[in-house]
Amino acid sequence: MVAVESPRLETAARALELQGVGRRFGGLAAVRDVSLALEPGERRAIIGPNGAGKTTLFNLVTGELRPTAGTIRFFGRDVTALPPHQRVRLGLARTYQTPLVFPRLTVRDNLYLAVRGVRPWRLSLRAPRPGDPEFAVVAELAERVGLRHALSALAGALSHGEQRQLEIAMALASRPKLLLLDEPAAGLSPAERESLAALLGSLDPTMTVLLIEHDMDVAFQVAQRVTVLHEGSVIAEGTPEAIASDPRVRAVYLGGTHGE
Ligand SMILES: Nc1ncnc2c1ncn2[C@@H]1O[C@H](COP(=O)(O)OP(=O)(O)O)[C@@H](O)[C@H]1O
Ligand SMILES: [Mg+2]
């Protein structure tokens, strides 16, 4: 008898593999024939101008949108038809272009909910207490993203950069195997960008990270490889150095802004 998936193939499975993935919105091909493979533990950035299809591609990976073509595999498993919550159960977590935290709850309670994997309207919220198993985890998550001092602050009172940090901590709460970050540096000050890049650099190296980034400095600091999307298609892929000097990339995207 031959096993369908041999142990060798299992180990060799990509963390994420897209084959010929496309998504149309009526007449608009927002994502076209995208093939992409991320090794476990890889840090990959997707860059591209506004409207290139980056967020749509993310939504296809998370299952918030269904592709109109192609297949998506997560650690060797075809997840193309799986709903988002089942992909989350397989180890996928994401952040949004606009931080999705609960502004009227404290940082502690936001993290507490994330650790328990629930939303506030699904349970009557009871504050975590020192004896709860989640209590230490919440403190550790806050520590990891530099928000330990702000545990009792309302999430809505945090700076934009701190809300980003909180959102990342909330995504980490499920101990994801693949973390997707949609423009984590958007709206951050230069100082906040630096601490974000440091935070991303300090994440568990075995976790696979796919980030969409508009900010070249952050993308190039964090990612080992960069994929460039333009009008829904991949036009280049390579190391940050190769991408920064690729004339096609400079023409469509970096233009005069690179190196600012
Ligand atoms: N739900 C949708 N319905 C129709 N068009 C959409 C939808 N989402 C995105 N688009 C279009 O798809 C293209 C890619 O958008 P998006 O993925 O948000 O790009 P990016 O994140 O790279 O800025 C844009 O032209 C956008 O207007
Ligand atoms: Mg976007």
The predicted structure's pLDDT at residue 254 = 54
Which ligand number lies closest to the CA of residue 228?
1
Listed ranges 19-28, 110-119, 122-131, 194-203; the one with the highest mean pLDDT: 19-28
The ligand 1 atom nearest the CA atom of 97: 21
* Cα gap 117→151, rounded to integer Å: 18
Biggest alpha carbon–alpha carbon distance for the chain: 61
Nearest CA to ligand 1 atom 16: 53
More confident residue, 189 or 97: 189
Q: What is the pLDDT of residues 115-135, one digit of tens each?
A: 887 555 445 556 667 777 788
The predicted structure's pLDDT at residue 107 = 95
Q: Residue 194 Cα, ligand 1 centroid: separation in angstroms? A: 28
Q: Which whole number is the average pLDDT over 39-50?
A: 94
pTM: 0.87
Q: Which whole number is the average pLDDT over 93-112?
A: 87
46, 54, 56, best to mutate for ligand 1 pocket (most atoms within 8 Å of CB): 56
Buried b (16+ CB within 10 A) or exposed e, 197-231: bebbeebeeebbbbbbbbbbbbbbbbbebbbbbbe
Which ligand number lies closest to the CA of residue 49?
1
Percent of residues, the chain, with pLDDT higher than 90: 61
* Residue boundaries of the structural domains of the chain: 101-174
Nearest CA to ligand 1 atom 4: 25
Nearest CA to ligand 1 atom 1: 25
Residues with beta carbon inside 6 Å of ligand 1?
25, 28, 30, 48, 50-56
Would you say residue 5 has pLDDT above 60?
A: no
Listed ranges 7-16, 28-37, 186-195, 248-257; the one with the highest mean pLDDT: 28-37
Specify the range with the lowest mean pLDDT, choosing from 56-65, 92-101, 138-147: 92-101
Q: Residue 79 Cα, ligand 1 centroid: separation in angstroms? A: 22
The ligand 1 atom nearest the CA atom of 232: 14
* Cα gap 222→46, rounded to integer Å: 12
Q: Residue 219 Cα, ligand 2 centroid: separation in angstroms? A: 15
Nearest CA to ligand 1 atom 9: 56
Q: What is the pLDDT of residues 217-259, one digit of tens each?
A: 788 889 999 999 999 999 999 999 999 889 988 888 655 444 3
Q: Residue 187 Cα, ligand 1 centroid: separation in angstroms? A: 20
The predicted structure's pLDDT at residue 118 = 59
Q: Do the Cβ atoms of 229 and 48 come closer than 8 Å?
A: yes
The predicted structure's pLDDT at residue 219 = 85
Q: What is the pLDDT of residues 132-167, one digit of tens each?
A: 778 889 999 999 999 999 999 999 999 989 999 999
